[in-house]
Amino acid sequence: MSETHRIINFNAGPAGLPRPALERARDELLDFDGTGISVMEHSHRGEAYGRVHDEAEALVRELAGVPDSHAVLFLQGGASQAFATVPMNFLHAGRRADYAVSGGWGEKALAEARTVGDARDVLGLDREWTRIPAEHPDGDGAAYLHITSNNTLEGTQYHRWPDAKAPLVADMSSDILSRPLDVPRFSLIYAGAQKNLGPSGVTLVIVDRAWIATARTDIPKIFRFATHAAERSLYNTPPTFGIYLLRNVLAWTRDQGGAPAMEARNRAKAALVYAAIDAAPDYYRCPAAPGSRSWMNVVFRLPTEALDARFVAAAKAQGMIGLKGHRSTGGVRASLYNAVSVDDARALADFMNDFAKREG
Amino acid sequence: MSETHRIINFNAGPAGLPRPALERARDELLDFDGTGISVMEHSHRGEAYGRVHDEAEALVRELAGVPDSHAVLFLQGGASQAFATVPMNFLHAGRRADYAVSGGWGEKALAEARTVGDARDVLGLDREWTRIPAEHPDGDGAAYLHITSNNTLEGTQYHRWPDAKAPLVADMSSDILSRPLDVPRFSLIYAGAQKNLGPSGVTLVIVDRAWIATARTDIPKIFRFATHAAERSLYNTPPTFGIYLLRNVLAWTRDQGGAPAMEARNRAKAALVYAAIDAAPDYYRCPAAPGSRSWMNVVFRLPTEALDARFVAAAKAQGMIGLKGHRSTGGVRASLYNAVSVDDARALADFMNDFAKREG
């Protein structure tokens, strides 16, 4: 890697983390809070880690505006595990679940739900998935309506929540805390931490306690959200160091001004990169429909695959990494999660403008 | 915490980790391998993390002697999740699973299996669980025979493997790599990392590939061991930083001389602490039957609960932490996992001898 450029990390997840959160972890890695040992060497039931666990929950409640009606859980297995545990808990026999499949990850969520019970795609979009429909199904009569709030593969995002007549469930892995959140609209939100919240290996779940009480009890205890809500995520040993890092990242998020400040930053970052695309519309082609463009993952293609590859390599030589599109889609993808600064996005936009002029 | 004493960590898990493994993590926390970013900021599908992933697997294979017939997986959810996923995969309808319940954790494993299918306790010990029976059921006719190789709560351990007529499954969370291991005897081994392997949040699974091929396919894909074996634990985003730390711990284990060296250390450590118990048999009472004593968790009681508490507090004042027994059992427990040195165990034994003389 270049010695002359600072690394700018556009990875899609695991992604870049705020430097202060990592420096804090480094500085106290061998001696947490004057205890003489690492936070990861403390018992999950002891006081030292207990303070971290409590602070992590308090920060989620503060930053996402989580009311007492909803439990905040730190689980394992990522969104991929929640794809299974959500229907295991809430898709009772004889009921159906509605999935608004707006991208490849939503399709995986649906496939996993079908191993559990009756689940169907209620959007019926073609598999290019270039937009979030303005007219949205409401899940009437379903056990729940599942959405993917941001599609990392296709670069689309919900900018208005659907009016749901069923409990609304959202996979928010790739945009949670990127903007203020109206938690009471949702019966369950889940998010792998590795984009906006921390390292991989922690799953944040925000879930309506009243809904938990209606869940199935004929599944293994470890997979019941009720188990973890009753034990405040200490039913079994949690990923303590991952939760500690999440705490550090959320403390940074709060210090930056919280969700409103993140929204302002993220709007500004996305505007810079989309402006570079729109300034060379014959050179950079963005498949996402204008009203559905994601602020988190800007997906585009150059005129040829060879140019995609040259773009990614030239950016890397400037210290900008993680721009190669997902192996399933190809192209270019810039992930602009919370830890990416406006200056980072500007550097990319400048590079795109130059590259289009030079190569286009 | 005392400024004058080095901390000696007898936590039961999460537990102390080898200092060199933590120092290595600290030194490269912000710049992994000259890449300019943290290992936890790298894509799980990129080269930098890929080398860590491969090395972690290679170290497990080398240290535990894992043949090609068995897959090495890094999963999430700890032993508590494996309590559910093992029967979900291998307890087919119409079959039964035999559980040799030798302690509280085995009882939990059995309870979880019963949410899946027909599972029974084939030991029938009373709930004090003070021994591993010499005459052991063989699981004949069962889908599998499940054992807990070391009982952290009760301080007992298998020192001879049962001759099984069914696929043998072992929860080795608390003694894996504490001694050489005869992997081909086992169809599946699982272990939460947070005792001998690394931080919490990673589950090591060693599983016979041929057995995986017989597993149920009517369960969610994320819970099929076959899914993870086919994708080398990269089906979904793994807990990359946890696996990196496990790699560091296993590199240290190898540098110490591997499993044979660990066995020698662990025998010596256990001998020191049990000698202190046996030197004051009226003062320190060890419930574990002599032939079943654990090298990993030495459990004992003083004449009264008040003395238990005074012992734990006095040890803590000397820098020896984590000695309070589990909340379900009370008493005292010294966990002597791989990272605990012979000197650490000697310090505890000396303290026990002094305490018995002074207070006894």
pLDDT at A1: 41
State yes or no: pLDDT of A28 exceeds 50.
yes
pLDDT at A329: 82
Phi, psi for residue A85 in degrees, rounded to 5: -70, -30
Q: For B64-81, how does the pLDDT look when each residue is reduced to its tens digit (9 = 90+)? A: 999 999 999 999 999 999
Q: Count contacts between A and B (CB, < 8 Å).
A: 200
A185, two tokens: 């609209």
**Inter-chain CB proximity A77 and B78 less than 8 Å:** no
A342, two tokens: 């406006």
Across residues B229-257, what is the average pLDDT? 98
Please check whether residue B323 is in contact with residue B315, taking contact to mean a CB–CB distance below 8 angstroms. Answer: yes
Query: SS3 for B80?
Result: helix
Cis peptide before B14 (omega within 30 of 0): yes
Angle at which helices A342-359 and A305-317 cross, to 10°: 130
Q: For B124-148, how does the pLDDT look when each residue is reduced to its tens digit (9 = 90+)? A: 999 999 999 999 999 999 999 999 9
pLDDT at B1: 41
State yes or no: pLDDT of B121 exceeds 50.
yes
* Nearest-CB residue to B242 (from A11, A201, A223): A201
**Inter-chain CB proximity A81 and B222 less than 8 Å:** yes
User: If you measure CA to CA, which chain A residue comes closest to B319?
Assistant: A36
* Nearest-CB residue to B17 (from A38, A84, A111): A38
Alpha-carbon radius of gyration of chain B: 21
Rounded to 5°, the CA angle A123-A97-A60 comes to 90
Q: For B279-292, how does the pLDDT look when each residue is reduced to its tens digit (9 = 90+)? A: 999 999 999 999 99
Q: For B147-167, how does the pLDDT look when each residue is reduced to its tens digit (9 = 90+)? A: 999 999 999 999 999 999 999
Q: For A60-106, how does the pLDDT look when each residue is reduced to its tens digit (9 = 90+)? A: 999 999 999 999 999 999 999 999 999 999 999 999 999 999 999 99
Alpha-carbon distance A295 to nearest alpha carbon in chain B (angstroms):
20
> How many Å apart are CA B16 and CA B5, to the nearest integer?
16
- Residues of chain B with pLDDT > 70, as a percent, come to 99
Interface of A with B in 69-98 (CB under 8 A): 76-81, 83-84, 88
Q: Confidence class of residue A3 from pLDDT cuts 50, 70 and 90? A: very low
State yes or no: pLDDT of A302 exceeds 70.
yes
Interface of A with B in 11-70 (CB under 8 A): 11-17, 19, 22-23, 25-26, 29-30, 34-38, 40-45
CA distances from A349 to A111, A178, A289, B86, B314 (A): 37, 20, 20, 50, 62
Across residues A181-201, what is the average pLDDT? 98
A50's CB contacts (< 8 A; 6+ apart) are: none
Q: Which amino acid type is present at position B154? A: E
Query: SS3 for B353?
Result: helix
pLDDT at B9: 98
**Inter-chain CB proximity B36 and A322 less than 8 Å:** no
Interface of B with A in 178-207 (CB under 8 A): 192, 194, 199-202
**Inter-chain CB proximity A44 and B14 less than 8 Å:** yes
Across residues A138-167, what is the average pLDDT? 98
Alpha-carbon distance A22 to nearest alpha carbon in chain B (angstroms):
7
Across residues B183-211, what is the average pLDDT? 98
A118's CB contacts (< 8 A; 6+ apart) are: A91, A95, A96, A97
Q: Confidence class of residue A330 from pLDDT cuts 50, 70 and 90? A: confident
- Residues of chain B with pLDDT > 90, as a percent, come to 96
Pairing mode of beta strands B156-157, B150-151: antiparallel
Q: How many CA atoms lie within 13 A of B264 on its CB side?
A: 6
Across residues B300-309, what is the average pLDDT? 97
Q: Confidence class of residue B236 from pLDDT cuts 50, 70 and 90? A: very high
Across residues B198-217, what is the average pLDDT? 98
Q: Confidence class of residue A5 from pLDDT cuts 50, 70 and 90? A: low
State yes or no: pLDDT of A263 exceeds 60.
yes
Across residues A159-177, what is the average pLDDT? 98
Across residues A141-168, what is the average pLDDT? 98
Complex ipTM > 0.90: yes
- Which residue in B33, B222, B318 has the most chain A C-beta atoms within 10 A of its own C-beta, making it the best mutation to test that interface? B222
Q: What is the mean pLDDT of chain B?
A: 97
pLDDT at B5: 67
User: If you measure CA to CA, which chain A residue comes closest to B5?
Assistant: A36
Contacts 24+ apart (CB under 8 A), A281-289: A282/A360, A283/A356, A283/A360, A284/A352, A284/A356, A286/A155, A287/A128, A287/A130, A287/A154, A287/A155, A288/A130, A288/A131, A288/A154, A288/A155, A288/A156, A289/A130, A289/A131, A289/A156
> How many Å apart are CA A115 and CA A106, to the nearest integer?
15
CB atoms within 10 A of CB B358: 8
CB atoms within 10 A of CB A120: 14
Query: SS3 for B298?
Result: strand
Q: For B311-330, how does the pLDDT look when each residue is reduced to its tens digit (9 = 90+)? A: 999 999 999 999 999 888 88
* Nearest-CB residue to B200 (from A1, A23, A240): A240
State yes or no: pLDDT of A178 exceeds 60.
yes
**Inter-chain CB proximity B7 and A238 less than 8 Å:** no
Q: What is the mean pLDDT of chain A?
A: 97
**Inter-chain CB proximity A200 and B241 less than 8 Å:** yes
Across residues B75-99, what is the average pLDDT? 98
Across residues B351-359, what is the average pLDDT? 96
A273, two tokens: 């990169």
- Residues of chain A with pLDDT > 90, as a percent, come to 96
Q: Does A313 touch chain B (CB under 8 A)?
A: no
